[in-house]
A and B are shown apart, each in its own frame.
Chain A
Amino acid sequence: MDVLGNLLDGFGHALSLQNLLLAVLGVTIGTLVGVLPGLGPATTIALLLPLTFVFEPVGAFVMFAGIYYGGMYGGSTTAILLNIPGETASIPTTMEGYPMARRGRAGAALATAAIGSFVAGTISTVVITFLAPGMSNIAKLIQPAEYFSIMVLAFVTVTSLMGDSIVRGLSSLLLGLTIGMVGIDQMTGQPRFAFGLPELYEGLSVVALAVGLFAVAEAVSTAASRHRPQQAPVTVEGRIGMTRDDWRRSWKPWLRGTAFGLPIGSLPAGGAELPTFLSYNVEKRLSRHKEEFGQGAIEGVAGPEAANNAAFSGVLVPLLTLGIPTSATASMLLIAFQIYDVQPGPRLFDQQPVLVWTLIASLYLGNVMLLVLNLPLIRVWVKLLSVPTALLTAAILTFATLGVYSISQSVFEVLIAYGFGLLGWVLHRARYPVAPLILGAVLGPLMEVQFRRALAFSEGDPSVFVTRPVSLAILLVAAACLIGPAIVRGRARASAPPPPAETP
């Protein structure tokens, strides 16, 4: 297990001319789609997933790493210029980045986001390189009962962090788990929830689910609100770059953001929301320019963007070593792995060393490409923001359909994706978060496997989850995460007037 040797091997694979071109292509298309308003990184990946299938796995994952970073960077561009967060983790960026852009400092905001993401991404990738193989060895020791409990913990923390109601988050999650169970049971061959439809025996395609919930739902939502005035993007004036003062005010937030994002993201409970909000609050408290916060303080862009990127890299640790995704974007990555019949988890590093190390090497590459390509090209990306909404929405639906059809060659799956699009829109209107739904659908089948293995070892005794000390401890932490916020919120509600309705 020589990490550096493996990494060099990975670079050897990633640096072939074909793979380099795929990385450039991935970053470019990822940014291109990610920049479009309303399309967060998860939607971007859902839309672009089909494009990677035609390449062999290694090439596809190199391209994928590019799309991942490009999509994220595109998301922060929309947050800064349009005040539209592509996902919850980008909200802090909108709070400072958009005011900066309106004051004519868009160039500096975009630059600090890009450079901060690069710094955070690179540091995190280095840490992951050394941390992940070790974690993978620890993960091999985990028994089914504990595995199940860790998944419960991941579900609970992710759900209680997303959206404003734990009940609605859990409803969404459990619906996702149900969707994941549709089809023939892997162990017994028994069809479940198929309602006699042979089309459903294979299960509901997670690609159709993701494309529907993210891309189609976004289009329906645009149609539903079409008479509302559209927000014009802020123009980018002056040069893209930072003054000496900007650098002085940015570098510490970048590092602090990384320090929040990486460890929290690496936990099988994290996600990217918590570290970005933490980073925002800490920068606000530490800043010598407190009065600027809310009016466009550069620290408020630099910190959360770094935290976001670090968390996104950190999320790869539980994903690769445990097979547990802790964000919507990570779920999309897991789906990509599964399409290639690769199951991330403790054995991944042993079974697929070439794939894993090439993927890690391409994370370094993706980061560099992003900085090299995007800073000079920002003005090109910004032009995309002026594409009329009507054409944009039509294009999103076209690509969503093409994606689902090209994978499945089935009109039925396309209709399923549309159906999920409507479901996603209805849930969004009723303020139910959709990320837990995806998480449940993707992780549910794996969770059931561990559940049944644990019960098989205990010969059917369900107390196994609470009599094994480690499993019990994890479940207690999960229970605390579930009940704690409810109590805090209950107290806050009792003592304060109800908060204004949240605008999604």
Chain B
Amino acid sequence: MTQRIVSAGFLLAAVVVLVQAYAIPQGNGYQAVGPRAFPLLVGGALAVVSVIGLVQAFRAGAGAGAQDAEAEETHWPSVLMLVAALAGYALALVPAGYWQATTVFFAVVARVLGSRKVLRDVIVGLVLALATYFLFDRLLGITLPPGLVRLAI
């Protein structure tokens, strides 16, 4: 099932690539090849390959069931919670500050992945966040978002 969806996705991508490539202006007459030729070539090849892939995925029929055994065992709640945690982390990084957001994110991800030792996770997350913050921000000179509370050191 996964393979059918993904191969259909590839075909869709090929169509988008071709449409977008056609939209690229040909460029001026001085150049033998403008910015459009290579994208068209790649888009065309992708279309051919993805049609074959789609045909193969549907022909595989019953045989594909065994290959998808792994897919059926997917623990979707965990995946969705992880995606939510990632989105939240990226959005909170600048307003909340690097080490603050990282500590929370670390504990949340550990929880999503089945850890039940909340206190330990928070402490490990805090230590990791502060250690990387000091290493990058203070020692290596790569600025990380400080957030509201600026550390005195």
Contacts and interface: CB of A to CB of B under 8 A. Distances in A.
Interface of A: 53-54, 165, 167-168, 170-171, 174-175, 177-178, 181, 185, 187-188, 190, 192-193, 195, 216, 219-220, 222-228, 388-391, 393-395, 397-399, 401-402, 405-406, 409, 411, 414-415, 418, 421-422, 426-427, 429-432, 444, 448, 451-452, 455-456, 458-460, 498, 500-501, 503-504
Q: Is the interface of B mostly helix, strand, loop or mixed?
A: helix
B46 A187 contact: no
Contact of A390 (B35, B74, B114): B114
A201 B94 CA distance: 23
A389 to B, nearest CB: 6
A432 B6 contact: yes
Q: Please tell me the size bucket of the interface on B.
A: 35 or more
B132 A225 contact: no
A187 B39 contact: no
A422 B148 CA distance: 31
Contacts of A222: 113
A188 B36 CA distance: 11
Contact of A418 (B3, B37, B87, B107): B87
A453 to B, nearest CB: 9
B13 interface: yes
A154 to B, nearest CB: 16
B20 A429 contact: no
A220 B85 CA distance: 11
Contacts of B38: 181, 448, 451-452
Contacts of A195: 20
A167 B55 CA distance: 11
Contacts of B32: 452, 455-456, 458-460
Nearest to B34: A188
A430 B6 contact: yes
Given A393-B110, A432-B6, 15 more contacts: A167-B52, A171-B10, A174-B42, A192-B24, A192-B35, A216-B86, A223-B81, A390-B113, A391-B121, A405-B144, A411-B93, A418-B83, A418-B87, A421-B86, A458-B32
Interface in B47-97: 49-50, 52-53, 56, 63, 66-67, 69-71, 73-76, 78-79, 81-83, 86-87, 89-91, 93-94
21 contacts: A174-B49, A181-B42, A190-B34, A192-B35, A216-B86, A219-B82, A220-B82, A390-B109, A390-B111, A393-B110, A394-B105, A394-B113, A402-B144, A406-B144, A421-B86, A430-B2, A431-B67, A455-B33, A455-B37, A501-B66, A501-B67
Contact of A190 (B25, B70, B110, B125): B25
Interface of B: 2-3, 5-7, 10, 13, 17, 20-21, 24-25, 27-28, 31-35, 37-39, 41-43, 45-46, 49-50, 52-53, 56, 63, 66-67, 69-71, 73-76, 78-79, 81-83, 86-87, 89-91, 93-94, 102, 105-107, 109-115, 121, 124-125, 128-129, 132, 136, 140-144
Contact of A395 (B46, B83, B106): B106
Given A187-B35, A223-B79, A225-B73, A174 B45 contact: yes
Contacts of B69: 501
Contact of A192 (B28, B39, B114): B39
B49 A394 contact: no
Given A181-B39, A390-B110, A452 B33 contact: yes
B73 A429 contact: no
A390 B108 CA distance: 10
A406 B136 contact: yes
A227 B109 CA distance: 15
Contacts of A460: 32-33
Nearest to A174: B46
A220 B17 CA distance: 27
B32 to A, nearest CB: 4
B35 A411 contact: no
Contacts of B110: 390-391, 393-394
A389 B113 CA distance: 8
A456 B32 CA distance: 5
Q: In the complex, which of the residues A188, A193, A223, A411 has the most CB atoms of chain B within 10 Å of its own CB atom?
A: A223
